Chain A
Amino acid sequence: MLLTIGTTHRPATELGYLLAKHPDKCQTFSLAYGKAHVFYSEATEERCTAALLLDFDPVGLVRGRRWGQDSEGTLAHYVNDRPYAASSFLSVAIAQAFGSAMKGVSKERQELADTPLPFDVRLSAVPSRGGEQFLRGLFAPLGYEVEAKHITLDEAFPEWGEGNCFELRLRAVVRLADLLTHLYVLIPVLDNQKHYWVGDDEVDKLLEKGGDWLRAHPMREQITLRYLKHQRSLFRDALERLMAGDDPEPEAREVEKEQEEEALEHPISLNDQRLGSVVAVLREAGATRGLDLGCGEGKLVGALLKEQSIMKVVGVDVSMRSLERARDRLKLDRMPEMRRKKVDFFQSSLTYRDSRFADCDAACAIEVIEHVDVSRLGALERVLFEFAKPPTVVVTTPNVEYNVRFETLPAGRLRHRDHRFEWTRQEFQSWCDGIADRHGYHVRFLPIGTEDAEVGAPTQMAVFRR
């Protein structure tokens, strides 16, 4: 990773005083994870360009760590663009090599340090998942002229596309201290991986450095949010190792996927309507013990907890992460004892028989079946209707006919990337009728959301009664 800072201020070599680095020397600094070299590629009256070259030690970074901590368990950690692309390490290097300049202090040229000067900054490789637009959004409000050039992923495989890495050029008339601070704070925002700070208080320091300009920045929320660290559990690491090779960033991906579907359906607040309808159906059925299969973050569990007539609510999900989030969201550990006793969560799967499922009088599978492969629906049917066989079963699933009404959804695409199928009303109803017939249930259907004369409602619900 190479950062160059050039100026056309005259005499340009004054830059050496501002950075406190002699233009005719090549200096090397030790960092926690390697070295940084500072030298000048040019140093004349007209133009002077200082270079900060990161010499990262990828082996040292991971040595001595125990497998199983964080994401070290996956190969992504070793074959990694970190040594070559801008990351939080660059910030660490800037602070170390140009510490006094970043504070705005210059022994020999204080006046110049306080003056905005024309600077031309280049970064050899900057990853930005948000693309060029995101880069601009970060730097343009601070007065930079932004030039971002896509780096081709691999010219041998043009079909792989462009990738997310840019050669970045920033030009502005700005105080050097401000320039360095901007880089120091904003480069890690682009770094999608775990941040490597020297200590935990680094985050606070960083936000402090942002100071006034950060408060005025239109993207300040996104910028600060990126610093929040995620708590990780043993389980999550194990899962991540399993997913390695199939899905590089399962967690990030999943959250992204959920958001996609939510964003799509948000304008009609479909989720609220679904929950409301389930509660209504359960009230009508006189249910007292509810089971939410595929409870996700526990929204329905939370809603059912508020129902006086419900004595017990159990949330079940196959994902331990979802269960963790659900417990957190409902603040289970701070719940009053009486209410706490009413609710329970456990991991299970809809394709395995589970004797614990039998202990309820109403089971709900809200937006769940479409996440199961069609070939596994037979197992799901038998687990739910043959073995658990609660008196009431509520199933909802998207009505694929309605998809044409979502303007942002490309034709033929499903609402969520993990959906294995989405059914028409006819398909869903014939599946449900078959189940009712085979297992001694009566089934009725309800539209959820505003019904369209032609394509029906966005969500379809089946209520099975035995």
Chain B
Amino acid sequence: MKIELPELSLVALIGTSGSGKSTFAKTHFKPTEVLSSDYCRGLVSDDENDQGATDDAFDVLHYIAAKRLAAGRLTVIDATNVQAEAREPIVKLAREHDVLPVAIVLNLPEKLCHERNQDREDRQFGPHVTRQQSQQLRKSLRSLKREGFRYIAVLNSPEEVAAADVVRNPLWSNKRHETGPFDIIGDVHGCFDEAVALLRELGYDVQDDEAAPTATHPEGRRAFFVGDLVDRGPKSPAVLRLVMAMVRAGTALCVPGNHDIKLKRKLDGRDVRLTHGLAETMQQLEHESAEFIDEVKVFIDGLVSHYVLDNGNLVVAHAGMKGAFQGRSSTRVREFALYGESTGETDEYGLPVRYNWAADYRGRARVVYGHTPVPNPEWLNKTICIDTGCVFGGALTALRYPENELVSVPAAKMYYEPVKPLDGASTEAADRPYNDVLDIADVQGKRIVSTRIRGSVTVRAENAAAALEIMSRFATDPRWLIYLPPTMSPSDTRKDGPSLEHPEESFQYFRANGVPKVVCQEKHMGSRAVAVVCRNEAAAAKRFGIRGHGIGALYTRTGRPFFGDGALETSFLERLQAALTRADFWKRFESDWFCIDAELMPWSAKAQELLRSQYAPVGAAARASMTAALAALRLAESRSVEMNGLVDRYSARQRCVEQYTQAYRRYCWPVSSIDDLKFAPFHLLASEGRVHADRDHVWHMNTLAELCDGDGGILHKTAFKVVDLTNTGSQSEGVAWWEELTERGGEGMVVKPIEWLMRGKKGLVQPAVKCRGKEYLRIIYGPEYTLDEHIERLRARGLGPKRSLALREFALGLEALHRFVEKEPLYRVHECVFGVLALESEPVDPRL
């Protein structure tokens, strides 16, 4: 006997003790699919036959079953299940998870079961037990259907049991193997002419004879109608003919809309009110033959409420489909597909307020739907509504999949007066795009973010808590925050000599990791700044969803607006925008926006407070104390007291203190206007359609140099030098260059592999390593770090945590850019940027 059941179902095995349920389960299902009550009894009581533990055992069993069903796993419940009370929670569980409940009954002779029990040492109970269970089972047979089981199989003999064959059928909604390409078409509502025009626009060969229309695509593309073919419009029968013909010919798919279902109910003779355009359809159908009407009824009846396609990457349903319902089947799933969910409230036009499931949608699949007319289709969390209200005088729109391009044709006229205006002037909140409000659940608690270059990155809960405060209180609008820069590790520590860092160690690190060539870039001592600049405000609105708040943003490594003063930011961004225009970057990159990574100088522009409250006071106190100490020491020495070398020692200390003051002063200059700033870009991070991490660093330097050339003012070219790590001469030149830079008072240099992404023996290689000069390090390690007694101890510094952090942040930063460029939902971009900020709060030696 062939037992057919849906691939996702909750199976209740029903049979008396000794009927062979466990053996049957073992034969036909995977061990992990079977949940046995006996086993659960053992779990909670150490005794599989402890009847006193039954209630707890079933709690455990139902809990596990619920988790499995939520994850979309077929589940078998191996218990006697002979009483209706025992089966009731099973049906309930199945409904809660929108899967079909299935009953497989092993209806074997009582005597046989009793004998089997006698053979087992742990089942030495009398025949009355089996007898009672048998009676209950027979009574049950009649009521299973009423209890809600949708598939019921009864096996009446050991032979039938032995011959049974369990076959799992795909759900109606499962079309994962269908990968397209599709042209998904919004609500047609009887607008036959527009449907024909749209199909032609999409490249179909269309027969537009209203009596026998059809269409095929020369490249084999298929149309996909999201339902609501009928009502309100002028030619519902023609639209039905077209779609039915295409579906029959295999050139189209179709899901039902609420109007289609209502029409079918009317045609079935049910009591349906002729409102919302049904009257027009009925009138148009008056002239149609009875055969056609029957065909329509059969067609609509055969439509499946929603489809999961392309390996689970695409879902199509009339009114959308939330994640938990995708690929499930139940009445409420069908209702959701047809009507969506309502909050139970009504708006000012008396229409039900729809629950905005799309705002909460976090699923992997793209969901394409119609049902609610929108002025412009907009992606929101991977969902898009493509009903552009053709029948109300809007347009008929198609989404080309997998290209994700929208194609529209305007309506020839307004065929039907909408209850509320279509043009977006409505004040109803649900009409506005939802994609700019983030959800706390997307960032709070422990997070695991998957990145394309380095797998999963974990963010700990307390770091996320810290980041939430910074993000909420200080960060710029999250829609601008498409990138935060990673931290950077210094080169390995020099074993001896006057300082801690030297290019040789940087070169060695990269060569040891198989990197043949590096770029050395001058490291500017300023503050890290990320600039997002748009061509104009319209581009900011279109691409970033930001209206009336400027053409971009300039922010720090923690996402704060760089300038407290909005006017300064605006004029700065306008300068950058002008430079991009002069260098013709908009056209050259076919982009209306750019994201640029840079250093902004002077240091004192951003770090004024830090200098005043920390760096300068240290210098001031040090100079005062050293001067006083030396004076006192010299006086004592002049009295011929043996000073144990203290005078020399304090002279050396005083020199260090002077050098320290000189060191920080180099990076400070007064800023009275924007012209006093220097902006030194070094990464052209991204533009429309592209993250430029696939171009090497020489390209970045040269391209940005062109940008700087066009600007006489604030833009500042970064000096760089390519070093061949397989050539000692080239390396010596690199070292000499660094020496020259640092002797002039420069901070030092950054060494990067020519390519952004390099993999060495231990995986990803550091994207950059900094090599800082001796004098600069005084403001990091303290004024006197160069004294022998100090520097030797400072050499023992561990770089491991810093390097690991740098790679994780690098991976997250790039991931954010990729997701933004790929037009992923805001929350997907934000979780990466938020992750960088959270990781920045991890404890690492801040001097590195």
Chain A positions near chain B (C-beta within 8 angstroms)? 1-2, 4, 24-26, 28, 37, 39-43, 49, 51, 53, 57-60, 63, 66-68, 73-76, 78-81, 83-85, 122, 124-125, 127, 151-154, 156-157, 159-161, 163-165, 167, 234-235, 237-239, 241-248, 318-320, 347-355, 371, 375-376, 378-379, 382-383, 386-387, 418, 437-440
Contact = CB atoms under 8 A, between A and B. Distances in A.
Interface string B814-848: 00000000000000000000000100111111110
Query: Which residue of B476, B636, B837 has the most chain A CB atoms within 10 A of its CB atom?
Result: B636
A67 B636 contact: no
B180 to A, nearest CB: 33
B472 A351 contact: yes
Nearest to A80: B618
Query: Which residue of A60, A235, A375 has the most chain B CB atoms within 10 A of its CB atom?
Result: A375
A245 B639 CA distance: 47
A67 B472 CA distance: 26
A161 to B, nearest CB: 7
A157 B668 contact: yes
A383 B434 CA distance: 11
Label chain B's interface by main secondary structure.
Answer: helix
A241 B843 contact: yes
A167 B625 CA distance: 9
B616 A59 contact: no
A376 B846 CA distance: 31
Contact of B837 (A1, A28, A60, A242): A242
Contacts of B639: 24, 40, 42-43
21 contacts: A2-B632, A26-B646, A40-B639, A59-B789, A67-B801, A73-B843, A78-B847, A79-B615, A79-B780, A83-B622, A84-B621, A125-B620, A153-B616, A157-B668, A160-B611, A235-B465, A238-B843, A241-B843, A319-B473, A347-B468, A386-B429
Nearest to B629: A2
A172 to B, nearest CB: 21
Interface stretch (B72-80, B436-444, B706-714): B436-444
A39 B643 contact: yes
A348 B784 CA distance: 44
A349 B468 contact: yes
Contact of B621 (A25, A127, A238, A318): A127
A382 B356 CA distance: 13
B260 to A, nearest CB: 32
A79 B641 contact: no
Contacts, number: 251
A235 B466 contact: yes
B636 A39 contact: yes
B610 A28 contact: no
Contacts of A378: 436
Interface residues of B, number: 90
A84 B624 contact: yes
Contacts of B779: 79
Contacts of A66: 843
B437 A387 contact: yes
B624 A246 contact: no
Nearest to B792: A59
A459 B848 CA distance: 48
Given A165-B621, A235-B466, A352-B440, A156 B665 contact: yes
B609 interface: yes
Nearest to A159: B670
B510 interface: no
B438 A353 contact: yes
Contact of A163 (B467, B616, B670): B616
A190 to B, nearest CB: 12
B846 to A, nearest CB: 5
B629 A53 contact: yes
Contacts of A245: 607, 610
Contacts of B618: 79-81, 84
Q: Give the 7 A-B residue pairs with the shortest CB-CB distance, closest first.
A: A68-B843, A349-B472, A124-B628, A238-B841, A41-B635, A125-B621, A84-B622
A41 B638 CA distance: 9
A353 B467 contact: no
B477 interface: yes
A127 to B, nearest CB: 7
A163 B617 contact: yes
Contact of A75 (B612, B636, B657, B780): B780
B843 A375 contact: no
A235 B625 contact: no
Contacts of A1: 625
Given A28-B644, A379-B436, A241 B841 contact: yes
A352 B613 CA distance: 34
B469 A124 contact: no
Query: Which residue of A66, A154, A163, A239 has the most chain B CB atoms within 10 A of its CB atom?
Result: A154
B793 interface: yes
B541 to A, nearest CB: 13
Contacts of A60: 793
Contact of B616 (A154, A234, A246): A154
B549 A2 contact: no
Nearest to A385: B429
Given A59-B785, A164-B617, A376 B636 contact: no
A124 B636 contact: no
A80 to B, nearest CB: 6
B742 interface: no
Contacts of A438: 427, 429
A74 to B, nearest CB: 6
B793 A63 contact: yes
Interface in B453-504: 462-463, 465-474, 476-478
A42 B641 CA distance: 11
A375 B473 CA distance: 12
A316 B495 CA distance: 52
Nearest to A440: B348
Contacts of A320: 465-466, 469
Given A67-B845, A352-B472, A124 B614 contact: no
Interface in B776-811: 779-785, 789-790, 793-794, 801
B617 A165 contact: yes
Contacts of A127: 617, 621
A234 B462 contact: yes
B429 A353 contact: no
Contact of A318 (B469, B613, B622, B847): B469
A248 B614 contact: yes
B437 A382 contact: yes
Contact of A154 (B619, B624, B845): B619
Contacts of B472: 318, 349-352
B641 A157 contact: no
Contacts of B770: none
A46 B7 CA distance: 105
Contacts of B801: 67
Contacts of B359: 353
Contacts of B471: 349
Contacts of A63: 793
B620 A124 contact: no
Given A58-B782, A124-B624, A151-B620, A160 B607 contact: no
Interface in B412-441: 427, 429, 436-441
A248 B438 CA distance: 30
A313 to B, nearest CB: 20
Given A164-B617, A238-B462, A81 B437 contact: no
A417 to B, nearest CB: 11
Contacts of A243: 470
Contacts of A355: 439, 441
Given A58-B784, A160-B611, A241 B846 contact: yes
A51 B619 CA distance: 22
Query: Which residue of A84, A164, A355, A371 has the most chain B CB atoms within 10 A of its CB atom?
Result: A84
Contacts of B783: 79
Query: Which residue of B438, B556, B626, B632 has the most chain A CB atoms within 10 A of its CB atom?
Result: B632
A161 B643 CA distance: 37
A328 B467 CA distance: 23
